[in-house]
Structure 1
Amino acid sequence: MKDNKLHNIKSTGFKAPDNYFDTLEDRLFTEAKLKANVSGPGFVMPEDYLDGLENTILNKVPKAKEPKVISIFSKRTLVYVSSIAAAILLLFNLSILETKPASFDTLDMETVENFVLEEDVVDSDELASLITEEDLTESGFIDTNFDENQIETFLLEHLDVEDLLVD
């Protein structure tokens, strides 16, 4: 409620004495002239003060102990690092991480057939050159025993029904 009349206040509440600002300039100049008449800055430094200052400060500071320096390339660390390097080198040379390559005995016949058929690495002429006349003799086919299930599976997979129909 008291704040309602704040916008109606016309005086600042501060008063200056009469003719205060008329004589202010004269008083400032008078005071500045008095300070200018003082000779020197007011501070005096003794002669040769800076010459002995460094020695005085160093005498007051306590002497620090020389820190112990540990060499990086000491014999002990060199032995540790070289033994770790030798262990890693042996790990790779002994082939602990290396797997043995597959031999021809472990390959499936189906895998080889799929590779030859799908990769187009070998064409039919190259395969024909590998077969000798001895492989194609009648006795080679007679000695081979086929199971009925194998023959049936082959016929179902490789023959069309239309090939079996006789016109």
Structure 2
Amino acid sequence: MKTNSLNNMNKTGFKVPKDYFENFEDMLLSELKLKETSKNTGFKVPEDYFKSLDSHITEAVKKDNKPKVIKLFTWKKASYATAIAASLILMFNVFYTQKNTLTLDNIETVSIENYLLNEDFQTTDMASLLTNEDLDDFDSIELNFQEESLEDYVFENSEIEDIISN
């Protein structure tokens, strides 16, 4: 059998604060005096207040006091604001236009190369953009390449089938 049953317990587990029973009479008497003196709360309800409460509430609800509303944004104010904004934009566009036009000379070569690489331009696309005058300009450019660098480029960037077929 277990020795931890309720029949074998000697302690209840409850503790009484020190000097509790010595001060108990004084505490009980002070509580009783407090209850006797606090019967009157000091608050009074007017006579027939609860009988007339319903009528007062319904009268207050029936009154339709709508406050005067002043709109912050009206169509008239909005149209004035949009007209002013449109005229300012038009004025800036007319008077402060960019004098320098964009040409190929102003664009960096690296930017053009990156654009062509990223847009997957084919040689046929490029050829359709060039005119005869542009091609004549290319003929006047002298390119000085060494034979070794050209051979290295061809071997590294072309396949054997392309070389044999041509």
Higher CA-based Rg: 1
Higher helix share: 2
TM-score with structure 1 setting the length: 0.29
Report which structure shows greater RCO (CA 8 Å, sep ≥6).
1
